[in-house]
A = this chain, B = another copy of it.
Amino acid sequence: MVTARASYSRIRTALEAIRDHPGLALQVVAGASAVLERYGNVAAIIERDGFAITARVHMMLEGENLMAMAKTTGIGLMELATVFDNLQPDIVVTVADRYETLATAVAAAYMNIPLVHIQGGEVTGSIDEKVRHAVTKLADYHFVSTEQAAERVRRMGECPDRVFVTGCPSIDLAAKVIAGTSLDFNPFIRYGGVGADLDISNGYIVVLQHPVTTEYHRARRDVWETLSAVSRIGLPTLWFWPNSDAGADGTSNGIRAFREIEKPANIHFFKNIGSEDFLRVLLHCRCLVGNTSAGIREGSFLGVPFVNIGSRQAGRDRGANVIDASYESDQIIAAIETQLTCSRFPGETIYGSGDAGRKIADLIASVPLTVDKRLNY
C-alpha cells in the first residue's frame, strides 16, 4: 500500500526485491495522494518504474481541516476492506506513519491478514507519532531502520522474534546514487516546473517543507518565512512542492502568493520528481532546507548539510549533518549560512547500509503467516 511520494521512495527497493523474489507475488495498491494529479501522480511514476498497480484507492476527501483527515481515513478503511477482500493477500505491507496508513493497518488487522510495518519505532513530532506507534500495535512484524528503533519496538511489548533491523530501503537508493559522481541530468528540462530559470553550475540549495499537521493555521506563515529566507540568501534554489496533508492548501497558497507578490528571482518550483533523481539533486546540493525526513535519513548517509526547520523531525535518530532552526526567517538564514561554510559531511549508516530491500523481501518470504500476538511482558 503506497499512499504518497515519500512513502514510495522509502519502499521502492523493497518492492523491486519482492517483485523479483521467486517465492513472492507482488500486488501494489496505490491510494490517497498517490493517485492524484494534484500531488504529482505517484501512481504513474510507480508504473514507469516497472510495477503494475493492482488497485487504486480514491480516498482523499477535500477540505482544509482535521475533520477531513479523519474522514479520509474512514473512507480509506471502507475502500481497503474491499480491496483486501478482492485481492486476498497473504501479507499486507505498510510504510511509516502518514495518517492514512492507519486505514491500511486497521483493515489488515481486522481481516486477519498478517501485517508488516516498515519504519516503526522511530520518534518524531505531530500526529505521525501517534499513528506510527498505533500501527506498531496492530502489526505482526516490524522491519525497522535502526537498532534504536528496534529497541523501542521491543520495549513497547512486541516479541523480539518479530522485530528485524533491515535498515531503511530509502538508503538503498541513496547507495545507488552515491555510486555516480555528478548530477547527470538537467532538472529543469526533465521536470519542468515553474519559476525562475537558474544556473546551478556553481551550487544550489534544495527546499522541501511539509505543513505540520497540528499547526495547519500557521502553514501559510511558516512557508512564507522559509521563502523569504532562501530568497534573501539569493543562491539558486530548487523548491519541491509538499505532500498532501491538512494544511497543504495553506502551504500551497503561501507559495503561490509569494510568487505573485515577491517574484523571487532565484527559486524554481517543482511538483514532483523521481525518487532517485531527487537523491541525485540532494547529493550535489550545497544545503538542504526544510523539514523532510530525507534530510535526516538519506541526508546522513549522503552527508548532505541539512537545515531542519521546526518540530517535525524532533526526536529522530540523526547524524552530524543536521542543524536545527525555528520557523523564523532570520534563524533559517543563519543556519543556512553555517551549513554553507561546510562542504560535505562524512556519510553515516545509522539508517542502513544499502541492502534493506533485499532483506525485507527475504523476511516476507520466510516469516510464519500469523495474526495472533500478545503483549510480551
Q: Give the total of A residues in contact with B, Cβ under 8 Å.
A: 70
Known contacts being A62-B38, A63-B35, A66-B110, is A138 close to B129, with CB within 8 Å?
no
Residues of B within 8 A of A110 (CB): 66, 69-70, 73, 99, 127
Residues of B within 8 A of A61 (CB): 58-62, 75
Q: How many copies does the complex hold?
A: 4
Across the interface, do B375 and A73 meet the contact criterion of CB distance under 8 Å? no
Interface residues of A in 61-107 (CB under 8 A from B): 61-71, 73-82, 84-86, 99, 102-103, 105-107
**How far is it, in angstroms, between the C-alpha of A4 and the C-alpha of B103 when the chains are bound?**
23
B375 & A133 in contact (Cβ 8 Å cutoff): yes
Contact residues in B for A65 (Cβ distance below 8 Å): 58
Q: Does A182 contact B (CB under 8 A)?
A: no
In the bound complex, how far is the Cα of B67 from the Cα of A77, in angstroms? Answer: 10
Partner-binding segment picked from A14-22, A151-159, A173-181, A331-339: A151-159
A249 within 8 A of B: yes
Query: Closest approach, in angstroms, between the C-beta of A305 and any C-beta of chain B?
Result: 26
Tell whether A288 is near chain B: CB-to-CB under 8 Å: no
Interface assignment of A123: CB less than 8 Å from any CB of chain B: yes
A155-B157 in contact given A74-B76, A194-B260 (Cβ < 8 Å): yes
